[in-house]
Structure 1
Amino acid sequence: MSESDQVTDTNSEISGVAERYARALFDLALEEKALDAVEKDLSSIEAIMDESEDFMRLVRSPVFTADEQLAAVSALLEKAGISGIVGNFVRVIANNRRLFSLPGMIKAFRNIVTTHRGEQVAEVTSAQPLTDANLKALKKSLKEALGKDVAIDAKVDADILGGLVVKVGSQMVDSSVRTKLNSLKIALKEVG
């Protein structure tokens, strides 16, 4: 991720707009008894955003008209097999010129769902994607440490080189290789 992407990354902040749309989506999903299906479809959209720079340009750029965004998003949703509540939701936000808030809306939706389920969210960053077995073991360890169920929001950042960065609420454990190397570098400067 480039520095300019980090500056405009809407996942780090959840705006009031994102929160309101996420709350509306949550209420509808709850009413339709479709929380799991909505979560799955949102994860699919998030994966597409992570994999496609073109899609992220479409999401972030104010240059595209609402009609252009709606046409592109509709084609993408159809290709990905996403319809129903989430398909309609994404079309509405594209039509309302709020597509730039989609990453924040997805994060806000997850936060609402985890609160609803009595879980706590752990943001986990690893250098490579975690396997299902890794995620299961990490969830178990975090549940034992925190005393409650934990939903894992997994991200991949190759820049950490190895290890994990785990953030739960205001607590963070950084066991990344990058941090360890930086600490070693500082220690060597002090000695030398």
Structure 2
Amino acid sequence: MGRTRSQENGEQQQVPANSAAASGLATRYATAIFELAEQHGELDAVASDLEGLRRMFAGSQDLQRLTVNPSLSRGDEEKAMAALSEAASFSALTRNFLGVLASHRRLHSLDSIAQAFVTRLAEQRGQVQARVVTASPLPAKDLAALKSSLAAYAGKTVDLDVAVDPSLLGGLVVTMGSRMIDASLKSKLKGLELSMRGVG
């Protein structure tokens, strides 16, 4: 089998071996950028930049491929992030941080890092970060009702992080920290399927 360009340069893509390692990695990077942003009084600016990045990556297959393409060198990734940061008018702190991620081949963890950052910011402000995944976009009034219900459940102000996953057969999945508050129709059907097979 032929060697990839990154292998020839000794720059293999390093992906954490398991979810625990990936979570720890994201937390370390999120903590680093959070503390820097806090020192410079730029928590809101960086949070906005990271949320913008998540939306960009979610809506672009080209950007998604950028994070897992082993043929790209560190320099290629750094240039791509610099161009993206310039076009999006990100803060200098965010630009430098993306450069660090690219130079360390950690762009594949960007979504997890952004999530960890937003979660920590919410916790510092006495809020709870709730991840909501729906099969189709929810109307604003439904989101408001959901936010109110979750706030009553948590006893704190809730900051919603909403995503759409068409692969869900219906319903929604709500996660607050490590707690899954609700289950999608898909997971219920999966549970029924396993039960019929005598599993669980």
**Percentage of pairs with the same residue:** 39
SS at the partner of 1:138? helix
Deviation at 1:12, TM superposition (A): 9.0
1:116 alignment partner, one of 124, 130, 140: 124
Q: 1:13 to 1:167 in 2, by over 3 A?
A: farther
Paired with 1:12 and 1:136, the residues of 2 have a C-alpha distance of 33
Q: Structure 1 pair 187/52, CA: closer, same or farther in 2 (3 Å)?
A: same
Distance 1:62 1:186 in 2: 38
For 2:112 and 2:195, the matched residues in 1 are separated by 38
AA of the residue aligned to 1:71: K
User: Which 10-residue stretch deviates more, 132-141 or 118-127?
Assistant: 132-141
Q: Does the aligned pair in 2 maintain the 1:127–1:159 contact within 8 Å?
A: yes
Task: For residue 155 of structure 1, give the secondary structure of its aligned residue in structure 2.
Answer: strand
What stretches of structure 1 of length at least 5 have no aligned partner? Answer: 1-7
Q: Is 1:33 paired with 2:35?
A: no
- Candidates 154, 163, 175, aligned match of 1:146: 154
**SS at 2:67's partner residue?**
helix
Equivalent residues in 2 for 1:154-173 (5 A)?
A: 154-173=162-181
Whether contact under 8 Å (1:11, 1:103) holds in the other structure is no
Q: Cα offset for 1:187? A: 9.5
Partner in structure 2 of residue 18 of structure 1: 26
Equivalent of residue 101 in structure 2, options 75, 93, 102: 93
In the TM superposition, what is the alpha-carbon distance from 1:81 to its structure 2 partner?
Answer: 2.4
Report the secondary structure of 2:83's partner residue.
helix
- The CA distance in 2 between the partners of 1:95 and 1:183, in whole Å, is 43
Q: Which amino acid aligns with 1:28?
A: L
* Cα distance, 1:163 vs structure 2: 2.1
What's 2:82 paired with? Answer: 74
CA-based RMSD: 2.9
Matching residue of 2:142:
134
- Structure 2 vs 1, CA of residues 28 and 57 (structure 1 numbering), >3 Å: closer, same or farther? same
Q: Deviations over 1:69-117 (max 9, x none)?
A: 0111111222222232212211221123222222221122122212212
Cα distance change, pair 48–136 in 1 and its aligned pair in 2 (3 A): same
- Aligned partner letter, 2:47: E
Which of 46, 54, 58 lines up with 1:50 in the alignment? 58
Q: TM-score when scaled to structure 2?
A: 0.76
Select the structure that is richer in helix.
1
**Letter of the 2:111 counterpart:** P
What secondary structure is seen at the aligned counterpart in 2 of 1:74?
A: helix
8 Å Cα contact 1:124/1:152 also seen in 2:
yes
* Contact 1:22–1:105 under 8 Å retained in 2: yes
Task: Give the distance between the partners of 1:19 and 1:184, measured in 2 at CA.
Answer: 35
Q: Does the 8 A contact of 2:174 with 2:181 survive in 1?
A: yes
Q: 5+ unaligned residues in a row in structure 2: which ranges?
A: 1-15
